[in-house]
A and B are shown apart, each in its own frame.
Chain A
């Protein structure tokens, strides 16, 4: 059995979610090969080769892979896939965009966002915004799978010494082209990798008021997240959104401030270890998943909490 894991990276760094995907691959068992397709991504290949459990790293270095366009990457992966029983990638915007394209070209089903491995062909995945868990079995010769990071502890980023091999690039499809990116810059930890998250909802009232949460987050070394309502209202950028259709997070501590707790929001954070809610409404649905909740006006409670943390 051989598993091909598609590395997520920006040509400079291996993205953390790749480590969780490698961990899921380890649970399936078999030789793990990591594909690094990019341009000038030698550091990424080096990082991948050092991950515990990785047997081999394939590097496809070409301008066609610089921007991680699904059209070009899928053509390459399909060519390589014949030698593997499983093709896996993180269930991030990157992996979700890419793997269904790969699966369709291979004429196999794709299995989205697995949270557990039962055997080489049977996996558990959430459906209906995480209100149910489906155990699904695939009869396809190649299993094409995306992995939800919160389901698997990251593989160690050191300890491995995989062989690195170059593979030939396929021709550029010429179908699409990256025009530009607007990436949110922040000195804070990434949402999906943070140990603590402070999230704000519509109750924050404005983007300026998020400064209250930033101050709290600074004290805790936390990332800042948001509900969809806060994003829609323009308080914070879209990549702050936690939920069914935003980011799925499971930090040690999740503090929800002025968030009611809609099903779609809970879907993204209810696997957090400890959940705290600060809400002026004692009946808010968020209290049903919170370990501790404080019924209070956030404009008083949040500064008080920040101060109390010294």
Chain B
């Protein structure tokens, strides 16, 4: 079985982003970029399925500017076999990404697509579900356990009240939650090996998709700041403040 893993290049999760003063977006120049953490988990899961003899080939895909090739190299270093870069300078939005992925799925015929549950820049949490819809496939979002057996994938999902387990008919879409696995560190030898693995670039035209954004961002602003708080010296003072000043208890 082939597994397709879409990976997005995003502002590193440790960076506290700053809103641009002209309100057009957030500052991304000279900011550290990394693979979306959920996508690292997705690649790791695919690699584990390959190590377990379930998967035969892992194809990493990224859609965006030329630099997303660095993210694809990281996926190759974790253990993906080859990579596809869909080149566009436009802002990618989930529906456009899902359409491009559908075109690639039609061509590559994977048995499973593993995506992150959400990209930590747009916090959309949409692409996997959209891809499942476009393909008419089953979906299991927010996965914390994945088991493939024959024609079925059994997935434990994190839901608001706890956990639930679904059995999906393959081919299927899975999106990862944080506790699915802990991604391995990429080692220097694997980074060197990754440089020699195949990475193809395709154009949106070749896939017949249009990335023109559907949602127009009119403005990006900073959230309201909280007022300055104060340190209290004792539990007694805390209780007094909560009762009389904040009137919270």
Query: Which A residues are within 8 Å of any B CB, using their own CB?
Result: 69-71, 74, 92-94, 96-105, 107-113, 122, 126-140, 173-184, 192, 196, 220, 228, 231-232, 237-239, 244-245, 247, 252-253, 263-264, 270, 273-276, 282, 287, 289-296, 301, 304-305, 308-309
Contact residues in B for A293 (Cβ distance below 8 Å): 229-232
Q: B122–A70 contact, CB under 8 A? A: no
When the two chains form their complex, are residues A126 and B229 in contact, meaning their CB atoms are under 8 A apart? no
Minimal beta-carbon separation of B112 from chain A (angstroms): 14
Residue of B nearest to A10 (CB): B161
Q: Which residues of A contact B137 (CB under 8 A)?
A: 175
Among B127, B162, B215, the one with the most A-chain Cβ atoms within 10 Å of its Cβ is B215
Q: A177-B166, A239-B159 are in contact. Are A127 and B122 (CB under 8 A)?
A: yes
Q: Which residues of A contact B142 (CB under 8 A)?
A: 93, 97
A308 touching B239, Cβ below 8 Å: yes
B178 in the interface, Cβ–Cβ < 8 Å? yes
Interface of A is mostly: mixed
For the complex, give the distance between the alpha carbons of A228 and B222 in Å.
Answer: 25
Give the CA-CA distance A198 to B16 in the complex, in Å.
26
Q: Is the CB of B218 within 8 A of A128?
A: no
Interface of B is mostly: mixed
Q: For A122, what are the chain B residues with a Cβ–Cβ distance below 8 Å?
A: 218
Per the bound structure, the CA–CA distance linking A134 and B219 in Å amounts to 6
Of B54-62, B191-199, B201-209, B240-248, which stretch is located at the interface? B240-248
Distance in angstroms from B104 CB to nearest chain A CB is 16
B106 contacts partner chain A, Cβ-Cβ < 8 Å: no
Known A139-B216, A253-B248; further 11 A-B contacts with Cβ < 8 A:
A93-B142, A93-B157, A108-B95, A131-B26, A178-B166, A252-B248, A273-B248, A287-B231, A291-B229, A292-B242, A294-B234
Contact pattern, B 108-129, Cβ under 8 Å of A = 1, otherwise 0: 0000000001101111111111
Contact A74 B133 (CB under 8 A): yes
Residues from chain B with Cβ under 8 Å of A247 in the complex: 160
Query: Quick one: given A132-B17, A264-B13, are A180 and B160 in contact (CB under 8 Å)?
Result: no
A128 partner, pick from B26, B172, B238, beta carbons under 8 A: B26
Assess the B223–A237 pair: CB atoms within 8 A. no
Compute how far the CA of A217 lies from the CA of B162 in the bound complex, rounded to whole angstroms.
20
Which of A104, A176, A238 is B167 in contact with, Cβ under 8 Å? A176
Q: Whole-angstrom distance between the alpha carbons of A171 and B164 in the complex?
A: 23
Check if B215 sits within 8 Å of A220, measured CB to CB: no
Contacts of A175 in B (CB 8 A): 137-138, 168-169, 172
Closest B residue by C-beta to A113: B123
| B183 to A: closest C-beta gap in Å | 14
Q: What is the CB-to-nearest-CB distance from B26 to chain A, in angstroms, rounded to a whole number? A: 5
C-alpha spacing A264/B140, complex, angstroms: 24
A177 to B152, CA, bound (A): 11
Q: Which residue of A lies closest to B233 (CB)?
A: A294
**Contact (Cβ within 8 A) A253 B120:** no
With beta carbons under 8 angstroms apart, the residue of A137, A176, A238 that contacts B216 is A137
B134 contact from A104, A109, A291, A308, Cβ within 8 A = A104
Q: Are B17 and A183 in contact (CB under 8 A)?
A: no
Neighbouring A residues of B216 by C-beta, 8 Å = 136-139
Contacts of B229 in A (CB 8 A): 275, 287, 289-293
Return the contact of B141 from the options A96, A137, A220, A263 (Cβ within 8 A): A96
Q: Does B78 contact A (CB under 8 A)?
A: no
A-B contact pairs, 19 of them (CB 8 A): A70-B139, A93-B141, A93-B159, A109-B214, A127-B121, A133-B220, A134-B217, A134-B219, A176-B166, A181-B159, A181-B162, A182-B164, A183-B162, A238-B158, A289-B226, A294-B238, A296-B235, A305-B238, A308-B236
